[in-house]
């Protein structure tokens, strides 16, 4: 479950983190194609096992948040924002006009007038 204060790039985002590593997936707002972030390993920061559970949880939560922020930033490069409808869509769902003026998602072709 994602923290309510985190705003994912796409409408659907999932957390696939474990206690050893962090990973997230984001889905195209049009076709729901899933993109997975890189894996970010948890680093207990020099604390040797057995680590105090409270310290472990604080470190894990902070690193998870940082990993999510990196994954969310990387997702910005995987999904295009449609200027007409505002959705974030994958490359297959985005229409490049060649001029850059009418680059929109495939649902908005013909209805977008960037005047």
pLDDT given at position 47: 67
Is 3 part of a structural domain of the chain?
Answer: no
Q: How far apart are CA 78 and CA 35, in angstroms?
A: 8
pTM over 0.75, yes/no? yes
Determine, yes or no, domain membership for 87.
Answer: yes
- Give CA separation, 53 vs 36, 47, 58, 63, 87, in Å: 29, 11, 9, 15, 41
**What digits encode the pLDDT tens for the residues 34-52?**
999 999 999 887 766 677 8
Q: Name the domain count of the chain.
A: 1
Q: What is the pLDDT of residue 51?
A: 73
Measured at the CA of 7, the angle between CA 5 and CA 8, to 5 degrees, comes to 140
Instruction: Report if residue 113 sits inside a domain.
Output: no
Is residue 6 in some structural domain? no
First to last CA, the chain: 41
- Predicted pLDDT at 55: 83
- Give me the pLDDT at residue 49, please: 63
Domain of 23, in residue numbers: 12-105
pLDDT in tens, the chain (115 residues): 455 457 899 999 999 999 899 999 999 999 999 999 999 999 887 766 677 888 888 889 999 999 999 999 999 999 999 999 999 999 999 988 776 667 899 999 877 666 5
Three-state SS letters, 13-62: EEECCCCCEECEEEECCCCCCEEECCCEECCCCCCCCCCCHHHHHHHHHH
Q: Which residues share a beta bridge with 34?
A: 27
How many C-beta atoms lie closer than 10 Å to residue 6's C-beta? 13
In this structure, is residue 114 part of a structural domain? no
């Amino acid at each position: 479950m994602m923290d309510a204060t985190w705003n994912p790039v796409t409408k659907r985002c999932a957390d696939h983190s474990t206690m050893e590593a962090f990973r997230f997936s984001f889905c195209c707002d049009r076709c729901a194609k899933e993109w997975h972030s890189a894996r970010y390993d948890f680093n207990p920061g020099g604390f040797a096992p057995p680590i105090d559970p409270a310290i472990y949880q604080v470190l894990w939560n902070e690193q998870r948040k940082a990993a999510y922020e990196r994954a969310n930033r990387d997702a910005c490069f995987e999904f295009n924002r449609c200027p007409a409808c505002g959705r974030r869509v994958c490359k297959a769902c985005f229409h490049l006009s060649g001029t850059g003026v009418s680059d929109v998602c495939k649902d908005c072709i013909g209805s977008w007038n960037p005047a």
